[in-house]
Amino acid sequence: MFVKEAYARQLDHLKEINDLFDKNVVDPGRTGIKIYDRKDNACRKHLKPNRREFYQIIFFEKGDGQFTLGLDTYQVNGPSIAFIHPNEIISWENTGNDSAGHICLFTRQFIEEHPLLKTVTEKYGLFADVTKSMIRIRDEDTGALADLFMKMHEEEAAFSARSGDVLQAYMQLIMLTSTKYAQDLVPIPASSEYRHVHDFFQSLERSFSKNNNGPVRLRTAQEFADELAVHPNYLNALIKRYTGENLSTHIKRRLLEESKVLLIQTDWTLQNIALALGFTAQPGFSQFFKKNLGATPGDYRKNFSANIHSMAIH
């Protein structure tokens, strides 16, 4: 009954990574890594896969709640740290008033550019093996981890040509400190209802992960329901209950997210982006984009570039 009730409640979820991305605070072109204070990033009711450009490390220094990683839910009632691979579905249900800690985002390229970091990451498997991804931190180690994250904040604020090297060194120390006296948390089994929700988001993400091999095939709610062998009304009701939004809203949002990524991280023409996203022609893509975001794709790309340039100057 406890598990069923826990899943039935609407979830207060981690700050949507795409919100941070849109505010131009994540600039993979600068260092490929960004640090946030959990206290400054309020939760919202939203369930989605982690942005597939970013790995995440989330340090729960203070605060009680239930953290869901994939199909596993963990009761967080003490210092804990999570290592999240891109595309994982994550959520956070807050059950306490206090909240402290840090969030670190970094790109796949950041790992590739730092061989020592890659070696440590692969050796301990914290991101690749979900059974190792959620760790309870001993009280006596909490201060040391908090200090490492604070040094990352300081290095990021000072920024120099060597900041990337310094930040990756701190990340290695964070992983080593976390695993030195690791106490694995035991997950709560997922309900059958939540499995449907999880499988929908996994399927939705797979639809877009193929865009480098060919155009995205825009799929309907009926097609997602058929894949999961459930009635579309039932699936829509589940998604609405767990996220507060219906199927079509999530499909539309994911399409918009992919649109932004392609506009910002590629030099493709609008026509090529439109075709890659499953539109038959560029005008249809531009109309969809402007209707939902209030700006044309071309203006969005120009504004983002201008903001990044302004940040680099200052």
- Mention every residue, 6+ apart, whose C-beta is less than 8 A from residue 196: 228, 230, 235, 238
Q: Which fold has domain 2-184?
A: Jelly Rolls (2.60.120)
Q: Domain map of the chain by residue range?
A: 2-184, 192-310
pTM as predicted = 0.69
What share of the chain in percent tops pLDDT 90?
35
For 221-232, write each residue's pLDDT tens digit: 899 999 999 999
CA dihedral over 12, 17, 20, 22, signed as positive or negative: negative
Does the pLDDT of residue 3 top 50, yes or no? no
More confident residue, 134 or 4: 134
- State how far Cα 88 lies from the chain centre: 7
When pLDDT is cut at 50, 70 and 90, the band that residue 6 belongs to is very low
Considering the domain 192-310 in this protein, what is its CATH number?
A: 1.10.10.60
For 140-184, write each residue's pLDDT tens digit: 899 999 999 999 999 988 888 899 999 999 999 999 999 887 777
pLDDT at 226: 93
More confident residue, 220 or 11: 220
pLDDT at 71: 79
CB 135 within 8 A of CB 184: yes
Rounded CA separation 59/104 (Å): 9
